[in-house]
Amino acid sequence: MTTPIGPVDSSRVPRFAGPATFARLPRLDEVERADIAVVGVPFDTGVSYRPGARFGPSAIREAGRLLRPYNPGAGIAPFAAAQVVDGGDIAVNPYSVQDAVEAIDAGAAALTASGTRLVVLGGDHTIALPLLRALHRRHGPIALLHFDAHLDTWDTYFGEPYTHGTPFRRAAEEGLLDGDALCHVGIRGPLYGERDLADDRRFGFGIVTAADVLRRGVDEVAAALRERVGDRPLYVSVDIDVLDPAHAPGTGTPEAGGLTSRELLEILRGLAGCRLVGADVVEVAPAYDHAQITATAAAHVAYDLVSLLALDERR
Ligand SMILES: [Mn+2]
């Protein structure tokens, strides 16, 4: 492997100067090939409540200026272990969900065609469906760990099949997921009815609630998740509303009683060794944020997802 081109050297150019690529990484067009690309999908036409996640990618990049090259929690310098880049945005039609879903699928397929793995910055959760479609064509049925306050396996809203509350039901119906290796983490808050849970079980999902994380602790939860996914190709989808609104106020559908950012990051680090094929962090809506609380949390989540991919690159 040729030596990766790393981020801008912050001892020469201060962190607050220059363009805000994620973690000040090089752009995709500045390298020969990329192992890992952080890519934005600024799309929020699928939301059911507060809009604004279209501004998520740029807010996360801006907060990511402060990320440093060595990740002690994961024990890796991800930008030295692999060529990591900012892959820019997959720009999609904000007026047509159908068009956007197709364009995200095509954009992800093009970016991953030569083996580059993606950490995608949303955008609302609708975008997980086309990302899973593209990965399924490459890897077959995918194991999924879904960090979220909400199940996201509802059927339709106002008759619409593609929304931010329905991507994993569509993915299950389309056979994109490995029904033996699915789990939600951080679930809480009121539902429409008991049937929501029965439907969800039918697709094969396990549930680790936010209260379970409190009672069982992060190490035990991570061990259970590792066991559930085994060595299957794994997608990790992080809705930032898995965090308590104290840790992530800037999001579309906040729910009280969520994880701390410390708990979330530790559970993610506990997934080291899994066969991660892609990941996202979605639902950052900066208009409702304060002092970059949510964008900072999302930037660190993306950094740990990149670190998991880089660990796998090294093995
Ligand atoms: Mn969600």
**pLDDT tens digits, one per residue of 213-225:** 999 999 999 999 9
Give the Å distance between the CA of 164 and the centre of ligand 1: 6
| pLDDT over 90 at 278, yes or no | yes
The pLDDT tens digits for 146-160 are 999 999 999 999 999
Q: What is the mean pLDDT of residues 101-112?
A: 98
Question: How far apart are the C-alpha atoms of 22 and 10, rounded to whole Å?
Answer: 14
Task: Please give the Cα distance from 9 to 15 (Å, whole number).
Answer: 9
Which H/E stretch holds residue 200?
A: helix 194-202
For the segment 57-68, the average pLDDT, to the nearest whole number, is 98
Task: Please give all residues whose CB falls under 5 A of ion ligand 1, grouped by chain where several chains appear.
Answer: 125, 148, 152, 239
Average pLDDT estimate for 285-306: 98
Ligand 1 centroid to residue 52 C-alpha, Å: 14
The number of CA neighbours under 13 Å toward the Cβ of 88 is 9
Confidence of residue 2 (pLDDT cuts 50, 70, 90): confident
Residue 50 binned pLDDT confidence (cut-offs 50, 70, 90): very high
Whether 1 shows a pLDDT value over 70: the answer reads no
Tell me, which fold does domain 22-314 have in CATH? Arginase; Chain A (3.40.800)
Q: For residue 160, give the DSSP letter.
A: B
Report CA 74 to chain centroid distance, whole Å.
17
Separation of 315 CA from ligand 1 center, angstroms? Answer: 31
pTM for the structure as a whole? 0.98
